[in-house]
Amino acid sequence: MFGKMPRPRLRSTESLVAHIGQLIDAHVRAGLSRAQEPAVEAARGLKEAVASFERAFIERVIAEHGGNRRKAAASLRIGYSTLKHKLNGKRIAAQRGGANKGLRADMKCRIAGCTRRSRGPRFGWVCDRHQRLPESVKQEARARWNDRRRTFG
């Protein structure tokens, strides 16, 4: 590519800098013209369009770095693992959650009439005031609570 360009006579530092600027500009333009534009189809969603653009962009940067993925990742300011995942089409983080996704535990004390907050399942769903009650009383209170709140089964 650089062999095709005419070589001007360089007489000063200014002309040398101008010539280097022209070479860089020609190199960048050539790289942009060879880049693949992601095909945008009406049937595809936004996520797929973004993924195809990212893939084309990453492949172009890898080509600019002579196939060195680590240098390409550094110039893109992303981790090497992230670059590999984006190229392989894998999700970076799996979706978490199941049947209780988005639900929060009711932290009220399970003893009838108590409005205090419990300390959670580790402490048997009772507040600090009711921790001293006998275990049989706490178990009975939890059973009544579960019977009133059961929505299935």
pLDDT of residue 52: 80
Q: What is the domain partition of the chain in residue ranges?
A: 2-88, 105-153
Query: Tens digit of pLDDT for each residue in 112-147?
Result: 899 999 988 888 889 999 999 999 999 999 999 888
CATH code of the domain made up of 2-88: 1.10.10
Comparing 26 with 81, which gets the higher pLDDT? 81
Q: Give the C-alpha distances (Å, rounded to integers) separating 70 from 85, 87, 104, 114.
A: 13, 13, 42, 60
Locate tokens 């790289």: which residue? 31
* Mean predicted lDDT score pLDDT of the chain: 77
- Tokens describing residue 96: 């978490």
**Residues 124/129/131/135 CA torsion (nearest 10 deg):** -90
Range name among 12-16, 57-61, 90-94, 107-111 with the lowest pLDDT average: 90-94
- pLDDT at site 153: 44
- Is pTM, for the whole model, over 0.85? no
Res. 19 pLDDT band, cuts 50 70 90: confident
